[in-house]
Chains A and B, each alone.
Chain A
Amino acid sequence: MIELILFWTGACLFIVGGVFDLLAAIGMIRFPNFYVRLHAATIGAIYGAVVPLIGISLMALGSPDIPSRYAVAGASLVTALILLVVSPVGSHVLAYAAHKSRSVPWSPVVDALEEDEEK
C-alpha cells in the first residue's frame, strides 16, 4: 500500500514538472526582456527539473520490482538537491552580470541594486 502511494505521488510530481516545463518554455518566448525571461528559465530549472527528480526518487522507492531501486532513488534525490543549490545561483550570477555590464535595455519601475550602488 505504502509503495503504491509513493509511486503515484512521484508520478504526480513528474507530471507537475512537465507542466511547469511547458509554462517555462512559453514564458521564455512571451516575456519581454532578459530579466523576466531569466525568471522563466529558473522556473524550468527548479519546478521543471528538481520536482520531477524528487518524483523519480519516490517512484523508484515505490517500485519493488526494479533492481537497485535505492541507488536510483538516492542518486536522483542528491541530483535534485544539488540542482536546488546551483540553478538559483546561476540565475543570480547571470542577472548580476547583465546588470553590471548594462547590456540589457530596460526601463525598471524600481531598481534597488542601482540605488544600493549609488550610495
Chain B
Amino acid sequence: MKRVIVLVVLVLIAVVSSVITPLVISIEVPRYLKDLSRYYIINTIKDTASPEAVAAIVWDYRGLDTVYETLVLYLAIVGGLTIFMYTGELARKTPVGLTLLSRTATKIITVLISTVSAAIAFHGHLTPGGGFPGGSALAVATMLIIPVFSINTLLEKGVTSTKLVAIRGVSLTGLGLVALLPVIRGLEIVTNQRFYPGYLDGFILSGSISLYNLLEFLAVASGFTAVALYLSIPEEYYKGGDNA
C-alpha cells in the first residue's frame, strides 16, 4: 500500500511539473549570438587550427588555466597516494579471478575500451573529447581488470604504482615543457600557433592542442590507475605494519 502511495505521488509530481514548467519558464531559442561566442565561432579555426572550439578554448585561449588545473589534479592525486602509501612488499598470491566467462568477456571489453579511449584522446582536437575523458576511459579498463582478474594479475604483469606514478611524472613534465618551450623564442607561455605547426602534410595537428591531449591522456590514465591500485590494497596491510 505504501509503495502505491509513493508511486502515485511520483507520477503526480511528474505530471504537474511537466505542465507547470513551460508556463512558468519561457524556453526560447536565442535570436542573436553574443559577441564572444561570435568571435570564437568565426576565429577558432584561424587562431588555433582546431575545428573543435571547446578544445581550442580549453588548451589555447584559456591554456594557462588548464595547465594550472592539471597541476592541481596532480597534487590531489599525489596527496591521495601519500595517504595510502604502503612501503612494504605486497605478498604475491596466486590470482583468483572470477569465472572463465567473465574473464573472456573482460578481455574483449578491455581491448574495446582501450581503442575507444585512444580515439577519444587522439581526436580531441577534431571532435568532442580530449585527453582527460580519454584517460579516464582508459583507467576504467584497469578498474575492470582488478575485480575480474584480481590485483595480483596486474602486479604480476608489472603494472605497479611506482611505474604508473613515474609515467605520470614524465608526461606532466612533458606537458609543462610544451607550455614553456615558446618562451625560448620570446613568445608568451602556452603559445600555440605562432610556435607549433598547425598542419602536417595535410593532417590537422592544431599545434600544441594535440600534444597537450596526448600527454594529458597518459597522465590521467596512469594517475587514476595508480589510485585504483592503491585503493585495492587490503586494509589488513595498513593495520598490521607487516604483511598480516
Report which A residues bind B (CB closer than 8 A). Answer: 82, 85-86, 89, 92-93, 96
Contact = CB atoms under 8 A, between A and B. Distances in A.
A14 B112 CA distance: 26
Contacts of B112: 82
B76 to A, nearest CB: 31
B109 A86 contact: yes
Contacts, number: 21
B109 A93 contact: no
B108 A85 contact: yes
Chain A: interface secondary structure? helix
B101 interface: yes
A28 to B, nearest CB: 13
Interface in B84-99: 98-99
Contacts of A82: 109, 112
B98 A96 contact: yes
B16 interface: no
Given A89-B102, A93-B98, 16 more contacts: A82-B109, A82-B112, A85-B105, A85-B108, A85-B109, A86-B105, A86-B109, A89-B106, A92-B99, A92-B101, A92-B102, A93-B102, A93-B148, A96-B98, A96-B99, A96-B102
Interface in B111-170: 112, 148
Contacts of A92: 99, 101-102
Interface string B49-65: 00000000000000000
B128 to A, nearest CB: 14
A96 B148 CA distance: 12
Q: Which 5 A-B pairs have the closest CB atoms?
A: A89-B105, A93-B102, A89-B102, A92-B101, A85-B105
